[in-house]
């Protein structure tokens, strides 16, 4: 999932470089949403792992 966020970020940067503002804005927004979903799932996984008795890696 983090790979998808980075991919959309790169697309946004390339689009902004070439002057495609709408595409750059949309790609940056998608990248931001995917990144925050990744962070939320990561935190939930670490909490679940800690509750089950295994220390986080």
What average pLDDT values come out for the chain (57 residues) when binned by 10 residues?
85 89 88 93 91 73
Please state, in angstroms and rounded to a whole number, the distance separating the CA atoms of residues 57 and 55: 6
Count of domains forming the chain: 1
What pLDDT, on the 0 to 100 scale, is given for residue 33? 92
What pLDDT, on the 0 to 100 scale, is given for residue 5? 84
What pLDDT, on the 0 to 100 scale, is given for residue 56? 62
Domain span at 14? 2-51
In a domain, 26, yes or no: yes
Reported as type and span, the H/E element at residue 48 is helix 21-51
38-53 burial by CB neighbour count: b if 16+ within 10 A, else e? eeeeeeeeeeeeeeee
In a domain, 56, yes or no: no
What pLDDT, on the 0 to 100 scale, is given for residue 39? 95
pTM value surpassing 0.75 = no
In a domain, 57, yes or no: no
Nearest CA among 29, 22, 41, 17 for reference residue 9: 29
Question: Measuring CA to CA, how many Å separate 48 from each of 1, 35, 51?
Answer: 19, 20, 5
In a domain, 43, yes or no: yes
In a domain, 36, yes or no: yes
């Amino acid at each position: 999932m983090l790979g998808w966020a980075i991919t959309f970020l790169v697309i946004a940067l390339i689009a902004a470089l070439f002057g495609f503002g709408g595409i750059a804005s949309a790609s940056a927004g998608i990248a931001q949403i995917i990144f925050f979903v990744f962070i939320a799932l990561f935190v939930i996984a670490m909490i679940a792992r800690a509750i089950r008795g295994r220390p986080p890696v």
